[in-house]
Amino acid sequence: MIRSKLPNVGTTIFTTMSQLAVQTGALNLSQGFPDFNGPQALLDAVGRHVAAGHNQYAPMTGLPALRQQVAAKVARLYGVQVDADHEVTITPGATEAIFCAIQAVIQAGDEVIVFDPCYDSYEPAVELAGGRCVHVQLSDGDFRIDWQAFSDALSPRTRMVILNSPHNPSGALITREDLDQLAQLIAERDIYLVSDEVYEHLIYDGVRHASVLAHEQLAARAFVISSFGKTYHVTGWKTGYVIAPPALSAELRKVHQYVNFCGVTPLQCALADFMAEHPEHVEQLPGFYQAKRDLFCDLLQGSRFTFTRTPGTYFQLVDYSQIRTDLNDVDMALWLTREHGVASIPVSVFYQRPIPEQRLLRLCFAKREETLRHAAEKLCAI
C-alpha cells in the first residue's frame, strides 16, 4: 500500500471535462486556453532561435534579456523598479513559481490563508510543504474579500496569504483599498504573500490592475507571479515569472533549481525578442479580450442563463437556475456537455465547502469568434 502524500488529489475536473468534450465532440469552453494561435512574430522567433542553436540550458534564473524585459514592463505599467538580476526569476509556468514560492517559505505546521473559490494548485503545494490551508470564503455574488472573515482566520501560525487577482474563476478584482486593508491587518505579523496575477492584463472597462508590486509594504514580503502563457496566447509553453525581493528570490531559486533548474531556452529567447519589439501587445490585450467578452455576453443575452459581465480574466460565470434547479453544478456541466455540446467548469469544485444553493458554471471565452457564436447558439437553444 502506498501512503499517499496527497490522499485527497484525484483527476481534476479540468482534465475530466476536456476529455468529455473530446469524447462527445462538444465545444470546449471548460479549460482556460485559447483556440487561436499566439502572434505570428512570436512563433517565428522560436523557429529562428532553434535554428540558431539556442537549444541548451538557459541560466537557472532565466535568460537575462527576458528578465530585463519583465523589469521594463513592470516599470512601464506599474511604475515600479525591480532588479532584473536579483528580483526576477523565469519559471516553467506560473504553476512552478507558485509551487517553489510555497516550498521556499512554508514549514511544517504553518497555515496559509486562501480564498474560496480557489485555484486548484495552491493547496497540494501547501500540503507537500507540511502546511495547512485555511479557507476564507469570498462573498457570495460579487466575490469580494470579507476582511472581517479574513481577520478572524488569522492565527499565530499564519505564515502566508495567497491572493489571486484578476480572480479565477469569478473574474473579480482586488482593489487598492483591499491591499491597504491587508497591509494593515498583517503589518505586525511575520506573513508572506503569494500574489497570483497571471491575468494581470485581462481587465476590462478601463479599470487598472492593482498589482501587489505597486504596494510598497506588501511587495516587500511578496512573490508576485505571472504567466507568459496567458499573456501571449501560448499556454502550452508553460513559461512564467516571479518577482520577489532579493532575499525571497534567493530562497525561491534554491527550490526552483532542483525542481526544474530552468525554463525552455528558445521560448525565453523568443519572448524576450517579442516583448522588446511589441511592447504594445500587453496594452492592447484588454481591448482584445473585452471585445470577446462583449460579443459572447451580447449573444448570451438571448439565453436563459443569467450573468454579470466579468470584470477580468477570460472566464464568464453564468447562473443556470432559470434552466434546471434539479441539478447540482457538476451534473449540470455533464448534462450540458453530453446533451447540448458545450463543456464548462462547475464552480463548486473551487470550494472546500461548496455553497449548496449556488448554480454557477464557468465558461472560457478565449475563443475565436466563430467558436463563441457556435457555443452561444447552443446555449440559447436550451
Ligand X SMILES: Cc1ncc(COP(=O)(O)O)c(C=O)c1O
Among 32, 62, 266, 312, binds ligand X (CB under 6 A): 32
Q: 329-340 and 13-24 helices cross at what angle (nearest 10)? A: 20
Instruction: Establish if 38 lies at the interface with ligand X (CB under 6 A).
Output: no
Label residues 235-253 b or e (16+ Cβ within 10 Å = b).
Answer: bebbbbbbbbbeebbebbb
**Contact in structure between 189 and 87 (CB atoms under 8 Å):** no
209 touches ligand X (CB under 6 A): no
Is 93 one of the binding residues for ligand X (CB under 6 A)? yes
Kindly provide the b/e burial profile for residues 113-127, where b requires at least 16 CB atoms within 10 angstroms of the residue's own CB. Answer: bbbbbbbebbbbbbb
Cβ proximity to ligand X: between 192 and 232 the closer is: 232
Q: Does 34 bind ligand X (CB under 6 A)?
A: no
CB of 18 to ligand X, least distance (A): 12
Nearest C-alpha neighbor of 316 from the set 169, 208, 179, 186 = 169
- Identity (one letter) of the amino acid at 138? L
Q: Within 213-242, which residues bind ligand X (CB under 6 A)?
A: 227, 229, 235, 238, 240
Cell of 282: 500587453
Distance from C-alpha of 68 to C-alpha of 54, rounded to nearest angstrom: 18
Cis, bond preceding 166 (omega within 30 deg of 0)? yes
Joined grid coordinates for residue 66: 527576458
350 belongs to the binding site for ligand X (CB under 6 A)? no
Q: Which is nearer to ligand X, 120 or 146 (CB)?
A: 120
Q: Which of 95, 170, 310, 337 is in the footprint of ligand X by CB under 6 A?
A: 95
Instruction: Choose the stretch contacting ligand X; rule: CB under 6 A; options: 92-100, 101-109, 185-193, 342-350.
Output: 92-100
Which amino acid would we find at residue 249?
Answer: S
Give the Cα separation of 199 and 309 in Å (integer): 16
- The answer to whether 268 contacts ligand X (rule: CB under 6 A) is no
What is the residue whose three cell numbers read 508576485? 224
Nearest distance from C-beta of residue 137 to ligand X, angstroms: 17
Considering the complex, state which of residue 12 and residue 257 has its C-beta at the smaller distance from ligand X.
Answer: 12
Q: How far apart are alpha carbons 54 and 49 in whole angstroms?
A: 5
Tell me whether residue 34 or residue 266 sits nearer to ligand X (CB atom): 34
Q: Which is nearer to ligand X, 223 or 323 (CB)?
A: 223
All three cell numbers of 301:
443575452
Q: Judged by CB, which is closer to ligand X: 95, or 265?
A: 95
Q: Which of 110, 196, 200, 251: binder of ligand X (CB under 6 A)?
A: 196
Candidates 78, 99, 119, 204: give the one binding ligand X (CB under 6 A). Answer: 119
Q: How many residues bind ligand X (CB under 6 A)?
A: 14
- Smallest distance from ligand X to CB 31, Å: 8
Q: Which of residues 51-90 bind ligand X (CB under 6 A)?
A: none
CB of 321 to ligand X, least distance (A): 26
Query: How many angstroms separate the Cα of 116 from the Cα of each of 133, 134, 260, 354?
Result: 11, 10, 29, 9
Q: Is 171 in the site for ligand X (CB under 6 A)?
A: no
Q: Which residues bind ligand X (CB under 6 A)?
A: 32, 93-95, 119, 164, 168, 196, 198, 227, 229, 235, 238, 240
